[in-house]
Structure 1
Amino acid sequence: MTTPMTTQELLELPATVDLVTAGRAFGVGRTTAYSLARNGEFPCRVIRAGKAYRAVTADLLRVLQIAPQNDGDAGPCPSDAA
């Protein structure tokens, strides 16, 4: 059984992740993740590098509707600008 990832774990992922990690984020196992990727049906953008698959974390978060956390360097929130 695939152990689900917490929101915090998802937000801490690097720019791309292996297909097993991406599959875990979606609650699917290794075999299903690779089958979906081979068929062009993986739920987020996947990059093929030789024989390896990498999932794009920004797209994974978008599909899961998880907003990246603001680290404070982007300036004030619009609600703060009054």
Structure 2
Amino acid sequence: MAREELLALPVTVDLDTANKALTIGRSTGYALAKRGEYPVTVLKLGNAYRVVTADLHRLLGITVGGGAGLAA
């Protein structure tokens, strides 16, 4: 996903969108989530998995107010 696409995401996203952002395949992503080993926090709401977009941004080094990269 391009930086602009990542910044345009809503507050939470489904697991498929998070998988795409992290370049994780669908089966692998769901297996990691089920085992509690996904690289960011996954919320299980009923039968749905949701990922907090801010966690994705942090993991990918995306800053909302500025350029990509970690703040010094």
TM-score normalised according to structure 1 size: 0.76
> Which structure features the higher share of helix residues?
2
Report the aligned-residue RMSD: 1.0
Matches within 5 A, 1:1-82: 5-69=1-65
Q: Identity of paired residues, percent?
A: 53
Contact 1:61–1:67 (8 Å) recurs in 2? yes
Unaligned ranges ≥5, structure 2: 67-72
Separation in 1 of the partners of 2:65 and 2:32? 29
Separation in 1 of the partners of 2:58 and 2:24? 18
Q: Which runs of 4+ in 1 moved over 6 A?
A: none
Letter in 2 for 1:31: S
When Rg is computed on C-alpha atoms for both structures, the one with the higher figure is 1
Unaligned ranges ≥5, structure 1: 71-82
